[in-house]
Each structure stands twice: as structure tokens, then as C-alpha cells.
Amino acid sequence: MDASPHESVTISEGALTLGELIRVAEGARVDLSDGAMDRVIASRAVVDAALAGPDSIYGLNTGLGHLRDQRLPPEALMAYQGAIVSSHVGGLGAPLPREVVRAAMAVRLNGLVRGGSGASPAVARALVGLLNAGVHPVVPEIGSVGAADLMHMAAIAEVALGRGTAEFGGEVIPGDQALRLAGLTPLALAPKDGLAMISANGVSIGRGALVVARAIEVAEAADVALVLSLEATRGNPSIVDPAVGAAKGVPGQVAAADHIRALLEGSELYRPGAPVSVQDPLSFRVAPQVHGALREFIASTASAVETELNAIDDNPLVSVAEGRMISNGNFHPIVLALTFDALRPALAHAGQISERRMSHLWGAIFEVEDVLLPDNLARLAQSSTGPLLRYAAATRYTQLRALAQPASLDVPSLDQGVEDHATNAPETVARTDRALDALQDLLAVELLMARTVIDARGRTGSLGVGGRAAMGEIASLADEAQGMPPQDVEAAVRDGLRARVLPAVRSALSSASSSARPSA
């Protein structure tokens, strides 16, 4: 849900949390604390002192990349910063979503107040103005290779300068027009300002935060899908016995098992003789381990994103304490890129066991429905669990598996061999976002198939607390899409997972927990 326009997040000299960043991405206003602006001013003083000195400093009084050792004449310093921005505009593809662009601007703003950029206070105020006025630069998705998101950030800087293209008030218009309508004035760059605006990993970090938040919810949805499949096939709940998680000692597995066990609370599966078998197929039996591994990698990725969010990644780096500027490689978000590369195989494993469980659900559907009878065959098609969705899910898994391949090693040498290593961070994050799309589709199909079996077997009343809540929302979503093609029903369930199914399940678990708690 979008943040309230009256909500405000204060960016200060303290660390910004992923939750705060996401609130800004969703529409919250931003404020800068006095301490934050003091840091910007102190950092800028170091740059001003360096300008008066004799040293060559990268991007301040020299060229960039392979032109790093060419000194600029004093009369070119001001114009050069604008040229830095315009020369790095070159992205391709569809525009990034508004939330990602807002997150990228907030990331850069938070970076400026760390005190390592040396940007003028006017740059910080310009980013605050864009965010609070709702002027959202149009930023192509493809361009940067993860040695700072130069192309992406240049598209943002262009609008601050009164150039480029922006979305404002629901329309895409020239940047200068958007500023005028918003009551903002174009930014005038001082030396170092252009480089400070673009030399940042705003998109990788900002989109990364949004992807991590989404991954947490998809992992939760994977537990729900498993539970309904267990209920549908009368599986064995011993897999989430607390002793199992304690014996393994993996925190993510313990968390997954605790959640699954809470979802199964009150289920008929816990009655003696209820499970069909002493051991289910591995796609059921190892789900706590697989879902637990996914939680472990999500946590690792979240930590990497939060570290980068609050890092000083400027080049050159301004050391306020030492009063000097240092050429460095902090713009390289390699840990972030590697964690997203590692997260996607974990997502693929969760998708794989979901797809495997569909085979068992498919067999259960044929056990309870004589599909040779035309009426039953028609009802199966209308229930959205017909062959098209099952086979489409198999193809979706193939795509998910392909997305699991690493992206961080796939960047060639650039700029005459000077830029001969990069992280591909924007692409690793984008692929993870697409992998979550694929996994959500798989889980939606699994949920629809499990619902068909549960309904056909008349087991809705014997479900646990989480299963009942999930079934109610899935039934409502499917009924709202009744008469539409199967893909529309699946889309309704997929899109409703985070918006309706999970909130209903959380509410049911909370109520069950409250009622089980002894009164004071």
C-alpha cells in the first residue's frame, strides 16, 4: 500500500533502515535533519579547499575513466560537471517503476549526508525537492554495469538540472516543464556536484530493498502453498516437529517450520491415522529445509543491501576528519551483487519443489474426479486447474531455473581497459525481481490445484487455521474472476497473494495466538 502523503521520513546522520527507504519509495515525504546538513556542509568544505590546492583530483579537476590523468583548465571546471551528467545518459529499455526511482533518489540523498561525497548543499536540497514534489525522472532500466549506477543516476540528475524527462501528476513531460509545474528551480552544479550525483548505486540498492521486502512475503506465501498441498494430499506434519529443527540448527529452517506448524494448527492431519503415509515425497518432506534456506539467503541479502545503503561509496571519497580526498573503489557493490546471485537459486529450489508437488496434486485430482465424464471434465477446466495452467507452470519453472544463473560475472572490459571489472549489480537485482514473478506464478497455480482437491474431497472444514484463512481468500479471488480465462484467474490469485491472502492468514494466526494465550 502506498505511504500516506502526510507521512515523513527523516534522513539524518544516523543509519537509514530498509523499512524507512521503502516508505519513501512508496510515497512518503523526506526531511533532512540539521545534523545531516552539517555533514554535507563539512564535506563540501574539503572539496572547496582541494580546489584551491595544486593536486590533481579525479573528477574534480581531471577527466574520468581513461581521461583520468588529463588536467582540466580552471575555466572548464563548472561546465564540466554538467557535461559529466549529460555524457552518461545512455540507458535502454522500459522505464523503471516509480517506486524504484524514488528509492534510488532516497539512496543517493542518504549517501550525500554520510559526508563522503563533497556535494554542495544545493544537491541535497534538489533531491529533497524532487521527492517531496512528486517529480519522478524517467529512468531506463538497462545501462549501468554495477560500478556505480552511472546511466541510471544520470537520468535522475538530468531532471534536477531541468533536462531529461519526468513523470509528474500522472503525465510524462520534459524535465524543465515538470520542475516549473512543481515550483522547483533547476539545480546549478558546482565542481564535483555532477560526479557526486551520478557516482552512486542508487538503483541497485533502492530496487534491492524493494526486492528483499517482496522476497520475505513470497517466502511466507511458499509456506502457505505447502500447507494447502499437505492438507489436500493428507500429508504427514511430522516434518515440522520442533525436534527436527532443533536437531539441524539452521535458524531459517526453524523459522519456516514454526510458521508452517502455526498454519497447520487445528488441522485434521494431527489426528491419529490422518496422514496417508509415514513419509511423503521429498518435495513435501524437505520443504522446511528448502524454505529455511530461502530465509537464510534473504537475510544475507537484506544485510548486504542495508550495508550498502548506509555506506560511503563515493569516488573520490571525502574524508572530513582528515581533510582530504581519496581515489578508491567503494562504488563497487560486489557483496550486494553476489548475495542477489545467491538468492535466485534458493528461489528456484522453492519453485522446484512447488512444481514437483503439483504432480502429486494432479494425481489427486484424477483420483477424486472421473474426468472421462464430460461434466467433470468441464468442471475441471472451469476450476482453473486444467492442463494449460499445469503445463504453463512447468514452463514457468524452466524460466525460474534459467534466471538462477549468475549475472555478476557477465560484464566485459570497458573504457579502453580501465574499467575492466564490474559487478552487474543492477542486473542481478532485476533478475531476482523477475525470479520472484516466476515463483509467485508457480505458487498461485499450486494453491489453485490444492484448492480443487480440498473442495472435491470435502476437507475444507478439517483444515488448520492458516489453511482455512488462505482457502477463504483464494476462493473469493477465484470467484471474482469466475467466467474469465484460466490465466486471468491465476493472475487474480497471484496478485492477491501479498494483498489479500497473506494479510488474511496473518490475521487468523494472530487471533489464534491471542485466544491460546492465557488471560492475566
pLDDT for position 380: 60
Q: Which helix (H) or strand (E) holds 10?
A: strand 8-11
Query: 242-262, pLDDT tens digit by residue?
Result: 999 999 999 999 999 999 999
Q: How far is CA 55 from the centre of its chain?
A: 42
Output the pLDDT for position 102: 98
What digits encode the pLDDT tens for the residues 23-61?
999 999 999 999 999 999 999 999 989 888 777 777 777
> What is the predicted pLDDT for the residue at 315?
85
d(CA 284, CA 489): 25
The burial of 434, by beta-carbon neighbours within 10 Å (0-12 exposed, 13-18 middle, 19 or more buried), is given as middle
Question: 460 CB contacts (<8 Å, ≥6 apart)?
Answer: 454, 468, 471
pLDDT(475) > 70? yes
In whole numbers, what is the pLDDT of the chain averaged over residues?
90
- pLDDT given for residue 495 in this prediction: 95
Grid coordinates given for 115 = 559526508
User: Residue 467 pLDDT more than 90?
Assistant: yes
Q: Which of 317, 426, 374, 450 is nearest to 50 (CA)?
A: 317
User: Strand pairing partners for 419?
Assistant: 414
pLDDT at residue 517 above 90?
no
Give residue 323's pLDDT band: very low, low, confident or very high (50, 70, 90).
very high
- Residue among 208, 218, 233 at smallest CA distance from 283: 233
Q: How far apart are CA 70 and CA 64, in angstroms?
A: 9
List all residues 6 or more positions away from 203 whose beta carbon is below 8 Å from its beta carbon.
96, 100, 103, 104, 139, 144, 149, 152, 153, 426, 429
pLDDT tens column, 78-124: 787 888 898 889 899 999 999 999 999 999 999 999 999 999 999 99
For residues 74 and 49, give the distance between their C-alpha atoms in angstroms, rounded to a whole number: 14
Q: What is the pLDDT of residue 33?
A: 95
Q: What is the pLDDT of residue 299?
A: 98
Cell representation of residue 183: 515550483
Rounded CA-CA distance 95/101 in Å is: 9
Query: 169-202, pLDDT tens digit by residue?
Result: 999 999 999 999 999 999 999 988 999 999 999 9
Please give the model's pTM, rounded to 2 decimal places: 0.93
Taken in order of first residue, the domains within the chain and their CATH numbers are 8-200 (1.10.275.10), 209-282+333-411+423-512 (1.20.200.10)
Residue at 213: amino acid letter: A
CA dihedral (135, 140, 143, 145) positive or negative: positive
